[in-house]
């Protein structure tokens, strides 16, 4: 088995993937037809051209347009199942999938029915591929902390398979600090805490997330590299950075994979994971993310395996489940490499 085959065969876990952003192009065409709404594309080639972005704000506008094509709660079952099927092809064994529920509720869909449909997709994927999946709810920072409190009410009423909350959306103009009361309540509810930060804003956004929100993981976090004190804080306090290299390149958050700070994070002792974010919209998957780190940044197979273990160790799973999953990963790497 050559190195690239070995990298693709590595057991993996994914912490940062958006359900809508994983919608296959052919499924997007189906959603468009089902919605009866006009769309800016008619075939797969046009979808691929549509998924080209000038910057992060442009990407957000495209993502929002795709969201509007989902007009029936039951459609989430297919989208979720296909997302997990694609991850399973990359030997991903555990996924924490992000669901931006407010986007769809504000368009008239029912939160509970959507969660039910997503979990039907999760159960089918578990039965067919052996992949496990939990959910985190993106409060969507654009709508404000009062709306975030309302989303927590939804989760209290129906939190099936929901393990965490997050704030995604437009980072510039919507800093994390106003969400402190929302995150305090989420913590009291027993939910884990994540925030998108430092992707489209500077280190101050990450500082706000760790100091005011008390997050356990940071989504993206690319700008942390500009602040040595922040780097030391993330390392010393065990805050995991969910890196998404190809996403950051595609939205021009970083110029190239070679210039992505994931290597600096890793070498600096920060616990990093690698994720596909919005794989269909960025033309990537977990295998490609790992291969790019090897090809562009010199990550070795043992280092990439450590990144897989990082994702297990920082997963929002009970300790006994993490121990079992870690053992399975070690058995798999031993089988692949012949190492004890």
Catalytic residues: 199
Q: Please give the Cα distance from 70 to 36 (Å, whole number).
A: 11
Evaluated on CA atoms 95, 273, 245, 258, the torsion sign reads: negative
DSSP 115: H
- The set of residues, in sequence order, having a beta carbon less than 8 Å from that of 198 and lying 6+ positions away, is 205, 206, 218, 220, 221, 222, 223, 224
Of 169, 173, 172, give the one whose Cα is nearest residue 195.
169
Q: Helices 301-313 & 286-297, crossing angle to 10 degrees?
A: 130
SS3 40: coil
Q: Please give the Cα distance from 337 to 340 (Å, whole number).
A: 9
Chain-centre distance for alpha carbon 193:
13
Chain-centre distance for alpha carbon 223:
18
Evaluated on CA atoms 336, 291, 136, 107, the torsion sign reads: negative
Cβ of 225: how many Cβ atoms within 10 Å?
20
Structural tokens at position 74:
């039951």
Q: Where are the alpha helices (DSSP H) in the chain?
A: 3-9, 25-35, 44-50, 56-67, 75-89, 101-105, 111-129, 145-157, 180-188, 203-211, 228-236, 245-250, 262-267, 279-282, 286-297, 301-313, 319-337
């Amino acid at each position: 088995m050559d190195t690239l085959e070995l990298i693709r065969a590595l057991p993996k876990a994914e912490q940062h993937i958006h359900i809508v952003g994983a919608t296959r192009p052919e499924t997007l065409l189906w959603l468009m037809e089902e919605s009866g709404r006009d769309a800016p594309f008619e075939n797969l080639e046009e979808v691929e051209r549509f998924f080209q972005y000038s910057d992060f704000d442009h990407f957000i506008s495209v993502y929002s347009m795709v969201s509007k094509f989902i007009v029936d709660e039951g459609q989430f079952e297919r989208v979720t199942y296909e997302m997990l099927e694609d991850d399973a092809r990359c030997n991903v064994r555990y996924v924490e999938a992000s669901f931006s529920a407010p986007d769809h509720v504000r368009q008239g869909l029912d939160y509970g029915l959507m969660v039910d449909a997503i979990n039907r997709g999760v159960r089918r994927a578990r039965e067919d591929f052996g992949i496990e999946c939990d959910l985190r709810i993106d409060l969507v920072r654009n709508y404000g902390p009062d709306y975030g409190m309302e989303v927590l009410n939804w989760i209290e009423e129906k939190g099936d398979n929901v393990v965490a909350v997050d704030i995604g959306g437009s980072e510039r103009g919507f800093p994390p600090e106003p969400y402190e009361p929302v995150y305090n309540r989420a913590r009291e509810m027993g939910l884990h805490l994540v925030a998108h930060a430092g992707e489209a804003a500077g280190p101050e956004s990450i500082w706000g997330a760790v100091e005011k929100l008390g997050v356990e993981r940071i989504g993206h976090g690319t700008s942390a590299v500009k602040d040595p004190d922040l780097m030391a804080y993330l390392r010393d306090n065990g805050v995991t950075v969910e890196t998404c290299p190809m996403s950051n390149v595609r939205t021009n958050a970083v110029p190239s994979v070679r210039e992505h700070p994931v290597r600096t994070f890793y070498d600096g002792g920060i616990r990093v994971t690698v994720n596909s974010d919005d794989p269909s919209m960025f033309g990537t998957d977990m295998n490609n993310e790992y291969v790019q780190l090897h090809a562009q940044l010199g990550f070795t197979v043992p280092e990439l395996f450590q990144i897989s273990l990082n994702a297990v160790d920082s997963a929002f799973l009970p300790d006994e489940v993490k121990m079992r999953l870690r053992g399975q990963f070690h058995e798999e790497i031993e089988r692949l490499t012949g190492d004890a």
